[in-house]
Chains A and B, each alone.
Chain A
């Protein structure tokens, strides 16, 4: 291969790289704002599932604060914090299970939804509300009902059902919710304080 050939290859590949970079940059420019909007909409959609509309007159998405390094979305009515929502995680069979949970100002669960998981399709994915109503049964529970040491699936001596063929997934989810309640208990005053 002589120097001229090398130059041609370099020009061809350089041209393709430049064109690709240009296309990607303009693609990113056109879509970045839309994608950001979609992410906010997704968050809004999951927040409305865990915070009942009746308890707030603000927009919890806009009223986010950071508590102990965690994003906390607050529901306010008449200037009072009526509830909060935040994400918490547990370890499932296929990795991390991320849930978002809404807790009212007394520490009672208003709702829980799984945001992201990598559990076995057809087995562990029953934690999704689209597949099973299992996740909705946490509404109304708090630390005390059941107590913290009994906050577990039936196999571990607690009151929550596991699924046939899958124990690790519900266990991870139950643990995540318990950790969320402990997080709320530990930072309650900070979260409910109106700033």
Chain B
């Protein structure tokens, strides 16, 4: 096994996802298959090869430091489940 049910529960918690027992078992098995498949990639010899973070060979994509129009705050808030005045309103969180 590449991954345990406890690890699936942990990852689900980090993603704030709530699964039933049944789902946990199913996802453990599915993730296990995926990770087994990934193992195949480990068979390739990568000695002396720099890890890459992108598939395209592009670097230094920049924009100049210029200000353009933002959205109006009405538009910014238009998708918000709850708003109050110019603010988004969320359940109180203090950490």
Q: Does B bind A?
A: no
| B binding-site residues for A, Cβ under 8 Å | none
